[in-house]
Amino acid sequence: MGAKQARTCSVTSTLIAGAVALCLFVTGCSPGYYIRAGIEQARILSRREPIENLLKSTQTDPDLRAKLQMVTDVREFSKTLGMTPDGSYTQYASVDRDVLVWVLSAAPATSLKQYEWYFPFVGSVPYKGFFLKHQAERDALRLEDRGLDTYLRGSPAYSTLGWFDDPLLSTVTKYDQLSLAMVVFHEILHTSLWINSRVSFNETLASFVGAAAAGEFFDQTQPPDLQLSKLSIDVWQDAIVYANFLQEVYSRLDNLYNSRDTGSESVLIEEKAVIFSEAAKRWLETKNQLKTNRYVDAFDGLNNASLLAEKVYHERPEVFWHLYNSNGNSLKRFLDVLVKNKAKLEDTQTDPFDVIEDLALIPITNENSRFLKPS
């Protein structure tokens, strides 16, 4: 499964029906947008069925039953790690489409500054979610008419950050066991810990927690599934390789856009095309280092918007690896540290990634590392 298909996204304020009334009075909010989101969210909530009932029913498909039981076990395991799933994933909702929400990102054609949307309670985020694809495409065209690069991708799930009890969706149950476990852990982490206006931090953190928690979970199933546990390590190693490659492309573009003797915008756009073309060729070689197939097609059709959107989920992922290892490869201890230092992470005068680096005080060695650093 490719990264674009496997990834989930916290399109949070898109889905907060309770914010509809407030947005009528907030500059920049479109009442129609929130009303549509509220309607779609209500439809999903109306289709919920208790997972407990489905597990007891003889009419439940055996494959679905197995995944529902695993999700139930994942929920319980997340509590032992200090996460708070509350009522999320205690219910199942069948939806009549493969893509649940369409996520739009944008950036100037010759700049690496993400276009941002502001939503109440959540803050500024570098994406906007739509339940209807044509609405997303319409907004994308408007941004392109203003000279921006755009990137539109589908997402099978979302988190409402505790505003609702998120149900398990049929769009996600089509995944394999590891992907499903990672998605559920990823989203539960969002309901447990969210740092306002720090989307890249939140998403990269949740991606790490999804992999690390899945690894610990499959280590402790009865009997342990060591193959899936090892695969979770491979997934995170691939994420670091991919993140490093993204950073390389980002740095080249950043140097181009900030060069004093670059010339006209048309010259910048031509040079940008060369950089992306060369990056695509290098990726053909780099992806041979990958242990899984999650990122093999990730460099198709890159532009400023898609590069920045990918980096949202792959921003300095090694810092979480460092902190995890410095806390004895224990995700519970790792999460305890984050909660205790939430005020530092929320300080707008600091970089939360730097905070994590500072908290990782114990030296890292391959001998005490479960998530070994790729060579």
Mean per-residue pLDDT over the chain, rounded: 83
Q: What is the per-residue pLDDT across 13-32, written as a single tens digit (0 to 9) for each?
A: 333 333 332 332 333 335 45
Mean pLDDT computed over 59-68: 96
Residue 43 pLDDT > 50, yes or no? yes
Determine the Cα–Cα distance for residues 7 and 274; give it in Å rounded to an integer.
28
Q: What percent of the chain has pLDDT over 90?
A: 54
- Quick one: how far is CA 362 from the chain centroid? 28
Radius of gyration (Cα) for the chain, nearest Å? 21
Q: What is the per-residue pLDDT across 92-109, written as a single tens digit (0 to 9) for each?
A: 988 888 788 888 999 999
Residue 47 pLDDT > 90, yes or no? no
Q: Which of 102, 118, 108, 114 is nearest to 143 (CA)?
A: 108
Identify the three-state secondary structure at position 316. Answer: coil
Identify the three-state secondary structure at position 107. Answer: strand
State the pLDDT at residue 151. 93
Determine the Cα–Cα distance for residues 365 and 374; give it in Å rounded to an integer.
13
Identify the three-state secondary structure at position 128. Answer: strand
Q: What is the per-residue pLDDT across 328-371, written as a single tens digit (0 to 9) for each?
A: 889 999 999 999 999 999 998 999 999 999 999 755 454 445 55
State the pLDDT at residue 78. 96
Task: Return the DSSP state at 89.
Answer: T
CA 65 to each of CA 60, 78, 99, 204, 268: distance values in angstroms, whole numbers, following the listed order: 6, 20, 22, 30, 54
Q: Which of 97, 95, 98 is nearest to 49 (CA)?
A: 95
Residue 304 pLDDT > 80, yes or no? yes
Q: Which of 65, 90, 70 is nearest to 166 (CA)?
A: 90
Read off φ and ψ for residue 135, nearest 5 degrees.
-70, -40
pTM: 0.82
CA 95 to each of CA 166, 247, 360: distance values in angstroms, whole numbers, following the listed order: 14, 37, 42
Q: Which residues contact 64 (CB under 8 A, 6 or more apart)?
A: 54, 173
Identify the three-state secondary structure at position 232. Answer: helix
Tell me which of 127 and 240 has the higher pLDDT: 240
Mean pLDDT computed over 76-92: 93
Residue 149 pLDDT > 90, yes or no? yes
State the pLDDT at residue 109. 93
Determine the Cα–Cα distance for residues 311 and 283; give it in Å rounded to an integer.
16
Exposed/middle/buried for residue 127 (C-beta within 10 Å: 0-12, 13-18, 19+): buried
Exposed/middle/buried for residue 318 (C-beta within 10 Å: 0-12, 13-18, 19+): buried
State the pLDDT at residue 287. 86
- The pLDDT-based confidence of 239 (bands split at 50, 70, 90) is very high
Identify the three-state secondary structure at position 48. Answer: strand
